[in-house]
Amino acid sequence: MIELSRYVTFGQYVNNGSPLARMDPRAKLICAVLLIGLTSYLSTFQAFALCLLFCVVLHQLSRISIGYVLRSLRPFIIFLLIAFVFEVLFYVPPKAPQWLWHWWVLGITWQGIINSILTIVRVLFLYYLAAMLSFTTSMVDLTDGMEVLAAPLQKIGIPINAFVMVLVIALKFIPIFVTEVERLMKAQAARGLNFDQGNLFQRVSKLSLLLIPLFVSGFKKVKVLNVAMEARCYGSHAGWHRTKLRALHFARFDVLALTLTIFVCVILVGVNLLVSR
């Protein structure tokens, strides 16, 4: 439990020179948004099976171990199981239900089980797609891509640069806070506190001891970041904009990836409509 960085890998950039890592960040963001929207729309197992085949091809292009991608999902398995049980028990069918078991407001139906499984599958796909985007895109590229795609909103007075920077910093702080929690847990373990002993409430009580030092450490890191950004004159005057070291440009592979993603989305939407009728 102390080695959290082994299991919480979300937000860490893996620069392995894969085709996905070399893609233009704008193309990756558009593809990710299309696939995430598609996954949120799909409602049949057949469509999810075809989506899984596409994700297998996507994973081969990323050259990242599947164990590394799914490692950070391990701490959340218990929450997914709890969510599954609650959704099955409290599901209310739109038509007259055929109960497998029923008591008061609780009940189990085949439709409730199927819908709950679909929800869990949808969550797993959403996690996988978001994780692959973070693994194959650096924070600098992610910031540049989001700023370029959202640049039209800047003309109507929306501070896109500030919004994007806040979002990217929040994502970047995930692995930083995980490392900090791991450091604090090891320091408490060296003083004799064992986080692996006791029941659930006792473990939660032990973890609550880390909240104050974690917030203090977080505020210190934010202060250092604030001083560093001010020293670089970040947002110091009206009309300010962030300069970029590397100019973005679409390559042939980016156009091919966008075309293939759109084609897959159209096919999966069609399969989902045909099966759901």
Complete DSSP assignment for 80-115: HHHHHHHHHHH---SS----SEEETTEEE-HHHHHH
In a domain, 157, yes or no: no
How many domains would you assign to the chain?
Answer: 2
CB 166 within 8 A of CB 150: no
In a domain, 156, yes or no: no
pLDDT of residue 256: 93
- The domain in which residue 100 lies consists of 1-149+247-277
Same-domain pairing of 41 and 133: yes
Same-domain pairing of 6 and 123: yes
Nearest to 195 by CA among 175, 210, 180: 210
Instruction: Using the Cα atoms of residue 142, residue 144, residue 148 and residue 150 in order, give the sign of their dihedral.
Output: positive
Distance CA 88, CA 252 (A): 47
Same-domain pairing of 135 and 268: yes
Same-domain pairing of 16 and 128: yes
In a domain, 18, yes or no: yes
Same-domain pairing of 67 and 200: no
| Tokens 């795609």, located at residue | 149
DSSP one-letter code for 243: -
> Which residues fall within 8 angstroms of residue 71, CB to CB, at 6 or more apart?
6, 7, 9
In a domain, 198, yes or no: yes
pLDDT of residue 239: 61
Nearest to 195 by CA among 184, 181, 207, 211: 207
Same-domain pairing of 64 and 190: no
pLDDT of residue 242: 67
Dihedral, 193, 196, 199, 202 alpha carbons, nearest 10: 30
pLDDT of residue 10: 65
Same-domain pairing of 207 and 137: no
pLDDT of residue 149: 85
277 residues of the chain, pLDDT tens digit each: 445 556 666 667 888 888 888 898 899 999 999 999 999 999 899 999 999 999 999 999 888 888 878 777 776 788 888 888 888 888 777 776 677 777 777 778 888 888 889 989 999 999 899 888 888 888 888 888 888 888 788 778 777 777 888 887 877 777 777 788 878 888 877 877 777 677 767 777 777 777 888 888 888 888 888 888 888 777 666 666 666 677 778 889 999 999 999 999 999 999 999 987 7
